[in-house]
Every structure is written in structure tokens, then in C-alpha cells.
A and B are shown apart, each in its own frame.
Chain A
Amino acid sequence: MRRVLLALGLLLVFAETAYAGGWATVSLSSTPTGVQPGTPWAVDLTVLQHGRTPLTDVQPVVTIRSGGRSQDFAAKPTGKPGVYRAEVVFPTAGRWTYEIDDGFISQMPHTYPAVRIGGPGAATSAPAATPDDGGPNLLWLIPGLVLLLAAAALLIRARLGGHGRQPQAA
């Protein structure tokens, strides 16, 4: 049992370390502010590992959402290292949110303010639907929680297995 706990502890440490080391930034050539419905928003995404090194073999995706609808737009390499281009079309006017999966660490999408597409308010960003309260980013706890749950499951299983073994009659 000690070995199992030790292994799980090490797994937690290394998983957190690996997760912390694998991150990328995404910068945009423009925002969708002022874009009209049905008109492509051609945006270049620059994906940099650790904010410095261009990532050349990833597949970034821009996801737009409004109401219950969502639509993905895959970005394609431009030929310039780390730079990918997406042609995003907001099909209708209204309030849209968008986020980007950098293709490197997909668990942490890059989020942006909501935008109002079309109409007289198109030149200004719409307020976010669920503004962050400024508290700690709990998404970082998810990998650790998953591993803790796995550890608990293993412990329960080990205990049940131990109780199931009855002493043999001589």
C-alpha cells in the first residue's frame, strides 16, 4: 500500500510539473470588433510555447458561441512559423463569445470578451456573460483532483480486495 501511495504522490508531482511546463500563448492579428455577420474575420493566430517559441505542428481552433449554438473554425498554417490563419464567419448578428484552443494544451482554451456582431453596437465589445470574479483560477486544480479521485478509487479497491480474502481453514 505504501508503494501505491508513493507512486501516486510522485504521479501528482510530475503531472503538475508537466502541465505547468506545457503552455502556449496566442496573440491575434485583430479582434472581431466591427465585423459584420456573414463577413469573414480573417485572423492570424501566433502560437508561442512559453510565450517565446513558435509552435509549428499544432492545429489551433477558433470556437464561436451564441445562445446554444457553437461553431468551430480550424486555423491553417500560413507558412510563417507559429502563425496560423482562421477565417471565422459569424453567421448572424448579435452577441457572440469566442475562444481559441491553441492545439497544444487543449484543456485551457484562451478566452476573450464577448463581442456584438453587426448592428449599431458593432464597434464596441459586449460585456462578458460570466465575468470572472478575480478569484483564483480553479481550472488548474482539475488534473490534481482527477488524480486524487483515482488514488481514492485505488485505495477503496485495495481495501475491498483485502477484506474479500477470508482465512483458509486448516
Chain B
Amino acid sequence: MTIAAFAGAGHPERTTAGAPAQATGADRGAEVFTEQGCGSCHTFAPANARGGLGPDLALSLHGKDSNYVLQSIVAPNAVIAPGWSGDMMPDDFAQRIAPEDLDPLVAYLMEGAR
């Protein structure tokens, strides 16, 4: 996976206010999904997310490899899911998400879209 090529250096919106102990691995991917508000726009059953502004991630990411999933996060307009318009999703998630959180998020999405 080529996260370094996409990921930015900082994530200024992240805070630690009242933050409980942080999970690791797959659980961390679920947390990143929630923290980043992915479910505000996307439906994704494993996250109980019901957003309707973007594609259902379990469908649009089904059968895709990790590079595709990563690209969908950090360069969302590179490939637009059929039936959806471009320029809806902000293209700065490489800056919003800490580099070390991208791998768990990709793994979590791939698991849920399997």
C-alpha cells in the first residue's frame, strides 16, 4: 500500500478532549470511520452508518483492492462510483486523517465490503 504517497503530515482537527483509551488494529479502523464522520455521507452497515449523500461503501468498495480503497479516501475524485457525482467528498482527508490511521481504516472498509 502506498499510503505515504497520499498521506499528509498533519491532522489539525484532531483533539484529545476526553478521549478514552485508543483501540488498535481493526477496532481502530472502526473508530477512525466514526471519528472522521464517514457515516454522515455514506451508508456502511458494519458502522451502522446511514448517510445517503454518497455510495454505500459495502457495495462500491466490494471486491476492490487496498490501493483502490485508499485512493477513494485520499483522492476521492480520482474514480467516481457509478451513479454518483464528483466533487462531493472533500479531497483533504490525507490531511485530516493521521497517516497511521489510514491502514486500519482501509482494512476496516475492506473487511466490511468483502
A contact residues vs B (CB 8 Å cutoff): 23-35, 40-44, 46, 48, 51-52, 85, 87, 97, 102, 108, 110-114, 123-125, 128, 130-137, 139-140
Task: Tell me if B1 is interfacial: C-beta within 8 Å of chain A.
Answer: no
Task: Tell me if B14 is interfacial: C-beta within 8 Å of chain A.
Answer: yes
The reply to whether B37 and A132 form a contact with Cβ atoms under 8 Å apart is: no
Chain A residues near B103 (CB, 8 Å)?
none
The reply to whether B17 and A114 form a contact with Cβ atoms under 8 Å apart is: no
Which single member of A29, A87, A124, A130 contacts B19 (CB below 8 Å)?
A: A29
Chain A residues near B90 (CB, 8 Å)?
51-52
Main secondary structure of the interface of A (DSSP, over half): loop
Chain B residues near A132 (CB, 8 Å)?
43-45, 48-50
In this complex, how many residues of chain B approach chain A with their Cβ under 8 Å: the count is 38
The reply to whether B35 and A28 form a contact with Cβ atoms under 8 Å apart is: yes
The reply to whether B41 and A51 form a contact with Cβ atoms under 8 Å apart is: yes
- Count of CB-CB pairs between chains A and B under 8 Å: 124
Which single member of A85, A87, A139 contacts B50 (CB below 8 Å)?
A: A139
Query: In the bound complex, what is the Cα–Cα distance between A114 and B36 (angstroms)?
Result: 17
What's the minimum C-beta distance from A64 to chain B, rounded to whole angstroms? 14
Which single member of A42, A112, A139 contacts B17 (CB below 8 Å)?
A: A42
Which single member of B16, B18, B34, B53 contacts A41 (CB below 8 Å)?
A: B18
The reply to whether A131 and B45 form a contact with Cβ atoms under 8 Å apart is: yes
Chain A residues near B41 (CB, 8 Å)?
23, 25, 51
Nearest A residue to B16, CB-CB? A29
Chain A residues near B13 (CB, 8 Å)?
27, 46
Task: Tell me if B39 is interfacial: C-beta within 8 Å of chain A.
Answer: yes
Chain A residues near B56 (CB, 8 Å)?
134-136
